[in-house]
Amino acid sequence: MLQTISWYIPFFFTASLLILTGCFGDWGNWRKYYPTILFIVLVCLFAYALTYDQPLWLYHGIFLSPNDNE
């Protein structure tokens, strides 16, 4: 059952965030925040370009409970 529910959690979380931002967001003053949004997008793209070949972490399986689904 948990595997079935786990597929719907990201959709529920995204939908609830969109509803909350629609209700409580300051949509009348979006032009005031537009330069900040562009700055954040550009910084994320720049950081992605710099660290493209260098992963932040590597996954190593846990030896106590191996994944035998292969």
| Tens of each residue's pLDDT in the chain, 70 residues | 777 788 889 999 999 999 999 999 998 999 999 999 999 999 999 999 999 888 878 777 666 666 555 5
Residue 11 burial by CB count (10 A; 0-12/13-18/19+): exposed, middle or buried? Answer: exposed
What's the count of helices (H) and strands (E) in the chain, helices before strands? Answer: 2, 0
pLDDT of residue 21: 92
pTM above 0.85, yes or no: no
pLDDT of residue 5: 80
pLDDT of residue 19: 96
From the centroid of its chain, how far is CA 58? 19
